[in-house]
Homo-oligomer: A and B are copies of this chain.
Amino acid sequence: MPESLTHLDSAGRARMVDVGGKAVTHRVAVASGTVSMKPETLELITAGEIAKGDVLAAARIAGIMAAKKTGELIPLCHPLGLDSVTVELEPAGPGVLGITATASVTGKTGVEMEALTAVSVAALTVYDMCKAADKDMVVGDIRLEAKSGGRSGDYRRQPS
């Protein structure tokens, strides 16, 4: 069966892939994304110590907590006992806030979705906390950067 169909049984019905026979290994995934905004919005976030601390702290915590909810949000994801999650937010250019999340597990299935979910919800939290100042913000470039530990071999995104 082509690999692209692994979530689908013979009649096209969604199912959660059976990982019962897969090896328990240490798996890590890194995902990234951005929130693009007016440069002055990013300055508001990074300038004032108070405001900065809170927007970034809230986004980081929201991202970590969301990673733990991945199996609840994504229909066919396996519920996982994560070993770790980190979420970093850093200015990545004028009006661009970069977000990187790393998740790891000792288990039978990868943690790409956990890392991607952490980035997405951290980004949405930034949007929520700054939308009164800037409704034009755009969340983008959410992608897998690297993963390791699975049967299909390590993956590292090629520079585009």
Contact = CB atoms under 8 A, between A and B. Distances in A.
Task: Determine how many copies of this chain the complex contains.
Answer: 6
Contacts of A84: 15-20
Interface in A84-105: 84-88, 104-105
A49 B107 CA distance: 34
Nearest to A56: B13
A90 to B, nearest CB: 10
Nearest to A26: B20
A34 B69 CA distance: 23
Given A26-B20, A138-B141, A140-B140, A75 B62 contact: yes
Classify the interface of chain A: helix, strand, loop or mixed: mixed
22 contacts: A6-B132, A7-B132, A12-B49, A12-B50, A14-B60, A18-B83, A58-B75, A64-B75, A65-B65, A69-B72, A75-B125, A76-B129, A79-B82, A81-B81, A106-B108, A112-B127, A116-B124, A120-B123, A131-B144, A136-B157, A138-B141, A139-B140
Interface of A: 2-9, 11-20, 26, 33, 41, 44, 48-51, 53-54, 56-58, 60-62, 64-66, 68-69, 71-88, 104-108, 112-113, 116-117, 120-121, 123-125, 127-144, 147, 155, 157-158
